[in-house]
Amino acid sequence: MRTFEELIAEAESVSVDGWDFSWLAGRASEERPSWGYQRLLAERLGTATAALDIQTGGGEVLAGAVRLGGGPSTLVATEAWPPNLAAATRLLHPLGAVVVADPDEPPLPFADGAFDLVTSRHPVRAWWSEIARVLRPGGTYFAQHVGPASVFELVEYFLGPQPEARESRRPEAEAAEARAAGLEVVDLRSERLRMEFRDIGAVVYFLRKVVWMVPGFTVDAYRDRLRELDARIRAEGPFVAHSARFLIEAHK
């Protein structure tokens, strides 16, 4: 078995650009929601005429959906983080999509009623009034969001109890915001899903990539807690957490 220092050094050196988690294969796992977001996204893209994917990350999910079901004649994606912008551009341009740099804050850089489909997988925040504005009458917002207290077993291991943060991202609250923006919520489903981290390198990689989990995370700042967690995983087996996901579909 590799030492703590070897695992840490490896996880610190690997690139975390894009939104591909394949580096974690065999080292960490997460159950997938039963509804199959990418498959459902592919179905909707196949019947759309103009679609926008907000906060597309590295474009991996959108690209996979286009390959499954085809894409509309107008396909646009937005992203804020420069490394993800570059990755999404390389991946999505050959599929006919335009990738637009956007700070993930209002306003969206598009005209009113520009799209009949707006999508997003795990947006940091859904700006409902902007989503409603860029949708055509009869258009659809279809997305998978992160739910409340997602992976908080890991978050609170490093940060301690987070009672206020546990109350955010509730599906019912998001649905209420969508309705307030003039949308009709036609589907709302949520699940909690088992995650396992099988070595300390997987934990470091995950926290480097999903930077909002433990803001300002660095190995140096949390080395003692990482060493304790490494010993725990070696003695007891994988560190178990639970992600929260909800599917939401709303019509204008």
How far, in Å, CA of 237 to CA of 230, rounded? 10
pLDDT tens string, the chain, 252 residues long: the values are 899 999 999 999 999 987 889 999 999 999 999 999 999 999 999 999 999 999 999 999 999 999 999 999 999 999 998 989 999 999 999 999 999 999 999 999 999 999 999 999 999 999 999 999 999 999 999 999 999 999 999 999 999 999 999 999 999 999 999 999 999 999 999 999 999 999 999 999 999 999 999 999 999 999 999 999 999 999 999 999 999 999 999 999
The answer to whether the bond into 107 is cis (omega within 30° of 0) is yes
Q: Which long-range CB contacts under 8 A does 112-115 form with residues at least 24 apart?
A: 113/137, 113/139, 114/50, 114/52, 115/48, 115/50, 115/51, 115/52, 115/74, 115/76, 115/139
